[in-house]
A and B are shown apart, each in its own frame.
Chain A
C-alpha cells in the first residue's frame, strides 16, 4: 500500500454545456441539450442544469424530450470535444502539479502528492483550483483522497467533506452508493435488485462470494478505491517548448548586435535539435525592447532544417524590419513548429550555399514532399565487379565519387532489373551464341564480343560466375547476354541482362 500518495479528482458536472454557455451566454437561461445520432435515433449526450431540472437527461431520445418540452434547444454533439477540453484543462493544471491526467468523459485526476504545501495546505489548494474553474464558468466539484478510486467517488457522490484524510477512505466509501465504484451497468443493476444501497452493505462480504456473484471487476475496483491495489493514471504529456533566450546587459541598438544575437541563439537551438533529432519548420525571433515593445520576425521552411546558416539566411531577409529604437534587452528564439529530422534526411540538403544549389535543393524538396524521399537517386561508382553492385547510392547532392568511373569496360546503357531467360543456339564450349530468341522473337547474331567472366563475390553471396557476351543482331541491335554455369556440369542457363546503344 502506497502511503504517501494523494490524488485529487475534479469533476466537471456539465462540461460541454458549460462550454457552450461560455460562448453564448443566452443559452444559460434556457434548457438545452447536445445530441448526436446513434443507431438511427438522435440521442442526448449532454444536458444543462435547466434541462436536467425538467427531467431531460443523458441517454434519452430527443423526440421524446421534445414531447416534454417542445421548445428544447438542441445542438450538435462533437465526440472529440470533451477530450480536447479536458486536455486543455489538464495542461492548465500543470501549474499546480506536474502529473495530470484526463479521466473521460468529464473529469481530471491529478496527482498532488507533495504539491499542496506550496499553497498552504490541501484545503487552500482545492479551494483555489475549484474557484478558478468556477470563475471560468465551469461547474466543478473536487475531492482529495489517498487513492484515485476514492477521490473519484467522493468528488461525484461525497456529501460531507471533499478532503478525505489519510487512511480514512474506507469509512468514507462505506457511505457511498455502489455507483461510486465505477462499476459496469449490469453489475449495478444486479446490486440494485439485491438491495445494496451503500458500499458498506457488501464491503465486508467474503471475497469469493463477491467474485462469484459480480465478477472480478468489483473486487478490483473495491481494492483500488481502498488502496489495497495500486491504481495509476496516465499523465498527459505537454509538448516541449523549443525556446532559447539571450538577455543582454546593455540594450542593443545596431544591426550587427542583433545579428550576433540571432547567430548565437540559432547555434544553441540547432545543437538542441541535433541532440533530439528534430528540425525547425517555423521559427520566431522575438526582440523585447527596453520600452516594453516587442518586435518579431517569422520564418517558415518547406522541409525541417537544423542548419544554422540556412536558417539565418531566411531570417536575414526580414531582419531589417526590426526597429530597435532605444535598444533591445532580451532576444528570444522560438520554434513553434518542429519536426523529426534524421541525419540522413538532413545531409542530402547540405548545400555549399551557392544560389544554384539552393534552387536545386528547393526543387528536390518540392518533389520529395509530393512523392517521397525514395524517388531521388544519385549514383557513385562502387568498387565491385558484379554489375548490379558496381554502383552505389549517393547520400548527398554534393558527394563526389571516391573512385573514378571505369571507362575501360563496356557496359550496356540499359540494364534490366532482373536478367531474363532466353533460348540460344550456341556452339560449345564457350563460343558466343549464333542466335537467340527473346520474348518470342528470334535474333540472328552477326557480331559478338566476349566472353567476359565476372565472378561472383563469394564473400557477399553464393552462386556461380557469369560469362558475359556482347552480341549484335542483324538489325544492329546490341545486347548484353550472359551464361550462368557450364555445359559440362549440365547447368548452363542463358540470360539477357541489358541493351547496348
Chain B
C-alpha cells in the first residue's frame, strides 16, 4: 500500500517537473494568478491559468469577436492590476475604450498600436512579447502559422509576458504552438426578474485545446468582476481512454 502511495507521489512530482520544463511557471502558493475564470480554471494544469504563455482565440463573425475581446479584456484587467501596462496591437481596431471599464480593465492602461499591414502586426507582437515590463499583449491577427506561433511562445518563455492572439476569421486552422485555443460565442442573456431588457453578457466559452489540461465548454455570465457559470453541469469532454489490446 505504502509503495503505491509513494509511487503516486513520485509520479505527481515528475508530472509537475515536466510541466514546468514545458514552460509553465510553477505557481508559488500565495503568488497565484487570480484569473476570475471560476470553474474554467480547473481545466489547466495545477488549476492555474497559465500566464507567461500565448493563448489563441478564434472567432468567425463580428458578434462573436466582441465576446472574445471581452473575455480577453477581463483577463487583461486581472493581469494589469495597479501599475501594469498592456499593449493591444491590431490593424483594424474597433475596440471602444470606455467599454473596457465594464470588464475590470482601466482603459488608460492599454496602449493601442494600430498598424496598417498585417505582417507589421506579427512583428510588433513579437517585439512586444519580448518586453518583460508589459503585463500582457493582445495581437489581432487573422493568420498565424505554426512556425510563427512557436517564435512567439519562445519569446514569452524568456520574458514571461502573457500573450493573447485573437484570430478573426482565419483562413486555415492548423495546430499551433500556443498553450490553449478558445472559441467564444455570444449567448442570450439570462432574464432577471424585475429587470427587463438586456441583461448581463452571456457567452459560450469553448476551450478547444489546452496543453496538459482538459478541454471543455461552459456557459458563463459576466458579472462585473468575474465569470459565473450559468448552467449547472459543465460539459467536459471525456478523457480518451487507451484500450488495452486483449
Contact = CB atoms under 8 A, between A and B. Distances in A.
Contacts of B120: 370-371
B141 interface: no
B186 A475 contact: yes
B198 A472 contact: yes
B69 interface: yes
Given A370-B123, A375-B113, A378-B110, A356 B133 contact: yes
Interface in B69-89: 69-70, 73, 85
B107 interface: yes
Contacts, number: 160
B127 A381 contact: no
B189 A501 contact: no
B38 interface: no
B65 A470 contact: no
Nearest to A387: B96
B98 A500 contact: no
Interface of B, secondary structure class, is: mixed
A363 B134 CA distance: 10
A359 interface: yes
A89 interface: no
Interface residues of B, number: 54
A411 B127 contact: no
A354 to B, nearest CB: 9
Contact of B114 (A363, A377, A477): A377
B187 to A, nearest CB: 4
Contacts of A383: none
A405 interface: yes
Interface string A395-426: 00101110001110011111111000000000
Interface stretch (A334-342, A446-454, A487-495): A446-454
Contact of A411 (B66, B98, B187, B201): B98
B210 interface: no
B97 interface: yes
A171 interface: no
Contacts of A387: 96
Given A414-B65, A448-B198, A501-B70, A367 B124 contact: yes
Contacts of A501: 66-67, 69-70, 99, 103, 186, 201, 203, 222
Given A364-B111, A377-B114, A407 B101 contact: yes
Contacts of A499: 62-63, 66
B96 A367 contact: no
A233 B64 CA distance: 69
B101 A413 contact: no
A394 B108 contact: yes
A371 B116 CA distance: 9
A257 to B, nearest CB: 35
B177 interface: no
A123 interface: no
A475 B98 contact: no
Given A475-B63, A499-B66, A371 B115 contact: yes
Interface string B111-139: 11111100010011001101111100000
Interface string A465-501: 0000011101111110000000000000000001111
A445 to B, nearest CB: 10
B51 interface: no
A367 B133 contact: no
A322 interface: no
Contacts of B132: 359
Contacts of A357: 133
Nearest to A356: B133
B101 A366 contact: no
Contacts of B73: 413
A124 interface: no
A379 interface: yes
Given A367-B113, A379-B108, A446 B66 contact: no
Contact of B98 (A405, A416, A476): A405
B176 to A, nearest CB: 24
Given A371-B120, A377-B114, A366 B98 contact: no
A363 B127 contact: yes
Contacts of B188: 446-447, 472, 474-476
Nearest to B87: A363
B63 A377 contact: no
A447 B197 contact: yes
Nearest to A449: B197
B108 A411 contact: no
A353 B229 CA distance: 44
B102 interface: yes
Contacts of B69: 413-414, 501
Given A363-B131, A499-B63, A412 B112 contact: no
B94 interface: yes
B18 interface: no
Given A470-B198, A500-B66, 7 more contacts: A360-B85, A377-B113, A379-B110, A391-B98, A411-B96, A412-B66, A501-B67
24 contacts: A360-B85, A360-B134, A362-B131, A367-B113, A371-B124, A377-B111, A378-B110, A379-B97, A379-B110, A391-B107, A405-B101, A412-B66, A414-B62, A415-B95, A417-B94, A446-B188, A447-B197, A448-B198, A475-B186, A476-B185, A476-B189, A477-B186, A478-B201, A501-B186
What 6 pairs between A and B have smallest CB-CB spacing? A501-B70, A477-B63, A356-B133, A415-B96, A449-B197, A476-B188
Interface of A: 355-357, 359-360, 362-364, 366-367, 370-371, 374-381, 387, 390-391, 394, 397, 399-401, 405-407, 410-417, 446-449, 470-472, 474-479, 498-501
